[in-house]
Structure 1
């Protein structure tokens, strides 16, 4: 049974009023891969009466008032994707498609959706219930941040949205504790994983440079970001305060990750793995084809790539589900009427990070001056593909399952670091779990660009390619590697892209088509470099390509059919002669 999204559904349950109303920029897809559905299910399991309003029309009150007003709070998320990333390309063009919108047309998610929905509630709802922000868009904009689309430093989204509370990170435990505190009318302000507005700073919290200062001084902004990034580990983080105007943003330390048992419970809630019928009448949602029969093994990432927000949102600690829970979910999939024997993905942010973690990190928190995988895999990280390999083997044996694919990206350096089982895992993966192509993300070839990305040296990619095709050919399989590459990253020039092109043609013997132009997402080191045009670690000036045409030219350097030193352009169609 879905959570209610209409008054008729509320009445069918015998309820007079909802405790919590969640507003989301996605269609209502009841899946453990969709944040609003997860939070709704977790709260519902705890006994709260929860409803969901998906993609409300911001031009009227017809949608936002459909469920009345909540007793405890409104919860707002832009959806699974930041609304500005969802709506615009890296070159500023409006996207035509949205995989989370019925019918696939990008016409339902407003720009800066969190702010738009909060203003919609303030404008039309007479309720005094608090407005609580959450999800990726709010999480990455919780402090002063560089906004690529406005090309300026914006203040915390909590202030621009005129909201009351912001839950950052994945949020299940924090939102449960918040709901309980609001229900019992106790003080919610000390809760981990929260941001809120205060008239004064908290005495023992770390003071960040004030918003007006970081908005005008790149060095102060860099100092602020370093302090913010260092204080994202639940074991070692301090609380943070930052003056925004006459008021202060308060960020409590991060919530601790859920235990294995708690994470299992989240993923084993009674999701329907379908789109709510109310929204299904408006059209199908393409994202559901990808996630309906996908298994999430873990959250978090060791990589800390500088262009990626996972470390700030999910954390640098990797925490996973139990083998038993994943097997139970796989068995349930076989009973689904639409299941055809294929699990589309077994993985997480990175597929081969399941089942191991650094003991020091668990005890003392993430190292402040070191990283798990850069410049090379830390010897204290006990890389072990054995747990994942056993899991893959056990799920393969479940009756009714024909194939399990790994669609999440891989880290080749972790495979090579596991001298005991890395190659055995790779052989199992290639022989049984590739859907025709396997994705890896070298991103670039040039050492100085990779260093600014926080990515390992390109030699790991070259060696991985050799081993992949050795195993593939020995097994008599027809499958290949797919490479993700990036153009116009801070520090990358046109000459660097020419050298990358040479590498892909000579070493990879490929003409990759999956090349993205760098988008500076908030609260990443990549965005910091883009804004300040400096290396944040040594202060050296950086070349940053900001001209849209030249960004496109960098991308075109790699595209198939591109001759060295020549711009790639599609041939113009011959014009028809006028009669």
Structure 2
């Protein structure tokens, strides 16, 4: 988004600015843009800065400070995975950049962009989301440095971290800021994490820890210092974390990092079929921003594909889909899917082949538990076996 585009729409100020490490492609497969369209559909003035330069905050600051908050995301992939192979060699192509250029986003983009946003907009609330933030929200093993790193919210120094699929949390944060609530008091939104900055802020929480699974009370994870020093403590943390991913019975979490602690609210509630339909019925142009002259490889892959569902109940140990999209399957209606098929058929380069119809995992479209009551209380890590 440019200042000229703002003026063409009669906007003197944005409500929300989205900063993303991917190229600006107005397509529902690009997560930060999906959030931008969702918020725009609820009446907010939303702008996007895609792949800003990271040697100066000037790119990010070009449209001025937003009225409510800046949303930050590294992009559709973790920026380190996007940059390096498993052998830690630089990839030949960045699928989410024009021309496949691999030098348009920084390593650990969440941290770099957050720092730039603080420089550009002192005092403006910063909200970090996307898959990089979501999967690094607790103390975690970082393959690239071969170390256990702290929660990314502490290193990014943002006000709120949104984990999982971010529509509901991003909207609630916007509503509460719009109503005049200070960002420092917005600490109870489902699907978000916040920092308790000193012992006085988090030690009282330890007095009311969980005693059994259904009491809904706080689960205290092994501390960062413990999991960094002890692999068994790390494994225990991972197991405890996994058991709290069902939004209907997941309890809040706390993990201490030195004198600070990160508080994690329960996961956001899943979207209904009507919510999913409304999300994918938004007026996506389904094309890159017209400022690009070069092809964007990831767009070429997905432009004739359709997302029909999200989530996965597999619980595979090698996969992190559940930690981001959740284990409850959320599906669109058949009518919504067919509307998108008809929209695709009107694209000038469509030749009659849908390249993919599904979601992030196996085809689990419309697969639900036989009883909603069982689903809401279930704590199994996998429904496959």
TM-score category (smaller protein): over 0.9
Matched, 1:60 2:73: no
| 8 Å Cα contact 1:6/1:66 also seen in 2 | yes
Aligned to 2:78: 82
Distance 2:362 2:382 in 1: 19
The 3 A distance-change label for structure 1 pair 12 and 194 is same
Distance apart, 1:127 and its partner CA: 3.3
Kindly indicate whether the alpha-carbon contact (under 8 Å) linking 1:236 and 1:364 is maintained by their aligned counterparts in 2: no
Distance 2:358 2:269 in 1: 22
Find the aligned partners of 2:121 and 2:333 in 1 and give their Cα distance: 45
Q: Which residue is equivalent to 1:272?
A: 285
Give the whole-Å Cα distance in 1 for the aligned partners of 2:362 and 2:290. 32
Answer yes or no: is the 8 Å Cα contact 1:146–1:153 preserved in 2.
yes
2:212 corresponds to which residue?
none
SS in structure 2 at match of 1:27: coil
Q: What is the CA distance between 1:359 and its match in structure 2?
A: 3.0
- In the alignment, which residue of structure 2 is the partner of 1:469? none
Query: Which residue in 2 is equivalent to 1:536?
Result: none
Q: What residue is the counterpart of 1:185 in the other structure? A: 180
Structure 2 partner of 1:27: 23
Q: 1:74 aligns to what SS in structure 2?
A: strand
Which residue number corresponds to residue 327 of structure 1? 338
The Cα offsets for residues 363-395 of structure 1, whole Å up to 9 and x where unpaired, read as 44474355211xx4xxxxxxxxxxxxxxxxxxx
Is 2:61–2:121's contact at 8 Å kept on the other side of the alignment? Answer: no
Q: Who is 2:211 aligned against? A: none
SS at structure 2 position matched to 1:212? helix
- For 2:194 and 2:52, the matched residues in 1 are separated by 25
**1:291 aligned to 2:286?**
no
State the shift of 1:21 in Å: 0.6
Contact 2:316/2:382, CA 8 A, preserved across alignment? no
State the structure with more CA Rg.
1
How big is the alpha-carbon RMSD for the aligned residues of Structure 1 and Structure 2? 1.4
Q: 2:156 aligns with which of 156, 161, 165?
A: 161
Q: Residue in 2 aligned with 1:145?
A: 140
Question: Is the 2:369–2:375 contact (alpha carbons within 8 Å) kept by the matching residues of 1?
Answer: no
Question: What residue number does 2:43 align with?
Answer: 47
How big is the shift at 1:105?
Answer: 1.7
Change (3 A) 1:362 1:62: farther
Work out the CA distance in 2 between the residues paired with 1:207 and 1:360: 30
Per-residue CA deviations over 1:536-565 (Å, capped at 9, x if unaligned) read xxxxxxxxxxxxxxxxxxxxxxxxxxxxxx
The answer to whether residue 113 in structure 2 is matched with residue 117 in structure 1 is yes
Change (3 A) 1:90 1:370: closer
Specify the alignment match of 2:124 in structure 1.
Answer: 129
Q: Does 1:194 align with 2:192?
A: yes
Work out the CA distance in 1 between the residues paired with 2:121 and 2:132: 26
In 1, distance between residues paired with 2:370 and 2:194?
33
Query: Counterparts of 1:370 and 1:246 in 2: how far apart (Å)?
Result: 32
Once structures 1 and 2 are overlaid, which stretch shifts more, 314-323 or 204-213? 204-213
The gaps in structure 2 that reach 5 residues or longer are 209-216
Partner of 2:11: 15
**Pairing 1:313–2:324 present:** yes
Change (3 A) 1:128 1:216: same
Give the one of 24, 33, 38 matched to 1:37. Answer: 33
Partner SS state of residue 59, structure 2: coil
Residue 351 of structure 1: how far off its partner (Å) = 4.1
Aligned pair in 2 of structure 1 residues 19, 46: CA closer, same or farther (>3 Å)?
Answer: same
Residue matched to 1:71: 67
Q: In structure 2, which of residues 259, 282, 287 is the aligned counterpart of residue 246 of structure 1?
A: 259
Separation of aligned partners in 1, 2:187 and 2:358: 35
- Counterpart CA distance in 2 for 1:369 and 1:37 is 33
Which residue in the other structure is 2:353 paired with? 342
SS in 2 for 1:277: coil
Aligned equivalents of 1:136, 1:298: Cα separation in 2: 17
User: Are the counterparts in 2 of residues 70 and 127 from structure 1 also a CA contact under 8 Å?
Assistant: no
The structure-2 alpha-carbon separation of the partners of 1:240 and 1:323, relative to structure 1 and needing over 3 Å to count, comes to same
Write the distance in 2 (CA, Å) between the matches of 1:13 and 1:370.
48
Separation in structure 2 between the aligned mates of residue 302 and residue 48 of structure 1, nearest angstrom: 34
Aligned partners of 2:109, 2:83: CA distance in 1, in Å?
10
**3-state SS of 1:306 partner:** coil
| Partner-residue secondary structure (3-state), 2:81 | helix
> Do the aligned residues in 2 keep the contact of 1:69 with 1:127 (CA within 8 Å)?
no
Q: Does residue 173 of the first structure (1) align with residue 168 of the second (2)?
A: yes
Corresponding residue for 1:226? 239
| Secondary structure in 1 matching 2:58 | coil
Q: Relative contact order, CA 8 A, sep 6+: which one is greater?
A: 2
- 2-structure distance, mates of 1:370, 1:34: 28
Determine if the alignment matches structure 1 residue 258 to structure 2 residue 253.
no
**Where does structure 1 lack aligned partners over 5 or more consecutive residues?**
377-579
> Structure 1-normalised TM-score?
0.62
Change (3 A) 1:354 1:364: closer
CA distance in 1, matches of 2:339, 2:88: 44
Match of 2:214 in 1: none
Q: CA deviation at 1:339?
A: 1.8
